Amino acid sequence: MRVQHRHIIYVQGYDPRGLAQYYRMFRTELRKFGRLYGLAATIGRPQVADDGEIASWTIDTKAGDWQTRTSYDFLRFEDLIQRDLASPIWRTVLHAIWIYWRLVFRGTIARFWKAHWRFATFITYPHFLLLIEALVALGVAFGFEKGLEALGLPAPFSMAAAAALFVAVLGTVLKYTENQTYLLYLLSDTIWTWEFSHRQRPEWDERIDRFAQYLAGVARASDAEEIVIVGHSSGSFLGAEILARALKLDPALGRHGPRIVFLTIGGNFPIVGFHAASRDFRDHLRQLAVEPSIDWIDCQSRKDVMNFYPFDPIAGHGIDVGAARRNPTIVPVRFREIIKPEHYNLFRWKFFRVHFQFVMANERPHAYDFFMIVCGPIPLSERMARPEAALAIATGDAAAREWAWKRLETAAASRADAADLGELEPSARRRG
C-alpha cells in the first residue's frame, strides 16, 4: 500500500514554453507544497535524453513517518509547437478561419456547445476578437481611402493603398497585442487539433509512437510501485494515444509489476474525438474503457473553461461497452477549496492561470493535490477512492494516520477479494 518509488510520465499540452519554464514552475510549486505540509522535498536537475525528446529528474520527499522517491519524465513537444507559432500571421489567420467555418458547417461547434457551452465560447473567442480587430483595421483603411480620394488620387490607387494599410494595421495589432489576447496562439491550437484529428501531422504521430515504445520499456524495467501517466490539457488525448499504442505494442503492459494509472487533468478529449475522422482515437478510448490492468482517473473542474465539465470521455463520444466498462473514474475538483479566498478572487477570471492550477501547489490541504499525487505515499487509485483517508495521512496526528492507513489497507484487500471472485468495479465512478 505504501508507495516508496513512483514513476511519473508527464505529457504536456499545446504549450510552447517547454522544459525550461515548466521545470522552474515545478520547482517553485514543489517548495510551496513542502511548506504547506511541513515536509522536505528535494529535486534533482533535469537530464535530457540524447534525442532531446524526454527530460527526466528525481524528487525525494520525506515526512515524519514516510518517504518517497519519484522519477519524473517530461515528454516534450515544444519544438513542434514553436514551429507552428513561427508560421506567418496571414497564413495562421486564413487557415484558422477556414477550419473554424468547416467546424460550424459540419456541426462540430454545435456538438461542443451541447457538451460544454463554456468551452465552445472559449474556442469561439479568438474568432470574435479577430472580427473586432479586423473591423477596426477596416475603419482605418476606409478613412485613409476617403482621404486619398479627397486629394484627387485615382480610385484604383486609393483602393490598393487602403487594402495594403488594412493588412498592415491588422497584422500590427495582432502581433503587438498577442501577449494580452493570446489570439494567434489559440488560432494555431485550432489548426493543430484539426490537423492532428485528421492525421495530417505525421511528425506528431511519429513522436507519439516513440513515446509509446518508451512507456512499454519503462513498464518492463521499472522497480516503481506505480507508474502514473499524467496528461494535462491537450496532453489528455495525447496521453491516451501514447497509452493505447503502448498497449498494442505490449498487451501485458499493466501486468509486468508496477500498477499503471492514467491521470487526465483539465482534459479536452472532444476537440479530437468529436471529429468524424477520429475513428482510431475513439477506438483507443473504447480500449482504455475496458482495460482491466489500467486505472484511469479523469479530474475536471467547472471553473476551468479550457476543459470539458461535466463530461464523460466514454459515453460523451457515443461509446457503449456495456458491463465491461471500468474506466474512467471521474473526479470533480473545486479550486475554491484548495486556494485561499483572497488569491482565488485575484485569478478566477484569468483562464490560463485557472487551467494550470491542476498542476500547481495547493494553498489548502485537500484530497486533490498534484504534488501529493506525485510525491505522496498513497497509490493514486486509493487516494481518489478514499479521499478522507488520504487527507488524514497528510494532515492528521499519529492516531488519525494509523486509522487512515488501516482504512486504505482494508479497502484494498476488499477489492482484491472481489477481483478474485471475478467481480467488476463500478464504471465511471464519481468522487467529490
Q: What is the pTM of this model?
A: 0.91
**CA–CA dist 166, 144 (Å, integer):** 10
> pLDDT, tens digit, for every residue of 153-174?
888 888 999 999 999 999 999 9
What pLDDT was estimated at residue 322?
Answer: 94
Whether 149 contacts 143, CB under 8 Å: no
**Does the structure show a pLDDT above 60 at 424?**
no
Chain mean pLDDT for the chain: 91
pLDDT of residue 97: 96
pLDDT at 414 over 70: no
pLDDT band at 152 (very low <50, low <70, confident <90, very high): confident
Average pLDDT over residues 145-156: 85
Rounded mean pLDDT of 379-397? 92
The predicted structure's pLDDT at residue 422: 43
Q: CB pairs under 8 A, 24+ apart, for 33-42?
A: 33/361, 33/362, 33/369, 33/371, 33/372, 33/375, 36/361, 36/362, 36/363, 36/364, 36/365, 37/63, 37/365, 37/372, 37/394, 37/395, 38/63, 39/63, 39/64, 41/371, 41/375
Mean pLDDT on 49-55: 94
**Does residue 411 carry a pLDDT above 80?**
no
Percent of the chain with pLDDT over 70: 96
pLDDT over 60 (residue 363): yes
pLDDT of residue 417: 55
pLDDT level of residue 427 (50, 70, 90 thresholds): very low
Across the range 92-109, mean pLDDT stands at 94
State the pLDDT at residue 432.
37
pLDDT of residue 421: 41
pLDDT at position 415: 62
Convert the pLDDT of each residue in 371-384 to its tens digit. Answer: 999 999 999 999 99
pLDDT tens-digit map of 318-330: 999 999 999 999 9
pLDDT band at 429 (very low <50, low <70, confident <90, very high): very low
What is the per-residue pLDDT across 20-50, written as a single tens digit (0 to 9) for each?
999 999 999 999 999 999 999 999 999 999 9
